[in-house]
């Protein structure tokens, strides 16, 4: 049985590093035989209102919340412009605690905040590993790195 994934992560930088990382994570998850549908917020920014207006933000927010509710697991990209997790991704992880299986992907070696550390079920720094995680059995894998 496949699991639906909500792929959280930043995608705002001008160099497209974040967008490219999110796309690579999406492609890795597509190769995973235990993954069904993948919702990637950066591909769901269209709305009935002009971008970055209050009305637009409400529509996008509710669509993303609905997608998280429908997902079986949250995969959160930790990397964000130097270090740390972006605010939206941190919100999505916090929302999912106790409700969803949480995988944190961290390509760069930056410290992880204790709240994210304790919220996550599985840590990886490998796109290849994303393609092989057994989402059906919700494996556990601890973080091994610096904590802040």
With tokens 């993948």, the residue in question is: 38
Q: Is the alpha carbon torsion for 123, 126, 127, 132 positive or negative?
A: negative
The token pair at 95 is 């929302």
Q: How far apart are the first and last CA of the chain?
A: 37
Counting DSSP H helices and E strands in the chain, the numbers are 5, 5
- Give 69-118 pLDDT, tens digit per residue: 999 999 999 988 766 788 999 999 999 999 999 999 999 888 999 999 99
The pLDDT tens digits for 30-78 are 999 999 999 999 888 888 999 899 999 999 999 999 999 999 999 999 9
Whole-number pLDDT of residue 83: 63
pLDDT at residue 82, as a whole number: 62
Instruction: Assess contact for 102 and 119: CB atoms under 8 A.
Output: yes
């Amino acid at each position: 049985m496949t699991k639906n994934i909500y792929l959280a992560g930043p995608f705002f930088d001008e160099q497209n590093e974040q967008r490219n990382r999110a796309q690579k994570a999406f492609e890795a998850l597509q190769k995973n035989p235990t993954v069904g549908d993948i919702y990637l917020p950066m591909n769901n920014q269209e709305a009935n209102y002009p971008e970055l207006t209050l009305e637009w933000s409400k529509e996008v927010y509710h669509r993303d919340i609905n997608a998280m509710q429908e997902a079986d697991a949250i995969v959160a990209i930790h990397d964000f412009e130097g270090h740390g997790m972006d605010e939206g991704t941190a919100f999505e992880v916090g929302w999912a605690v106790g409700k969803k299986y949480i995988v944190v992907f961290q390509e760069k070696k930056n410290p992880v905040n204790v709240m994210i550390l304790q919220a996550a079920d599985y840590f990886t720094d490998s796109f290849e590993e994303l393609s092989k995680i057994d989402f059906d059995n919700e494996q556990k894998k601890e973080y091994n790195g610096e904590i802040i």
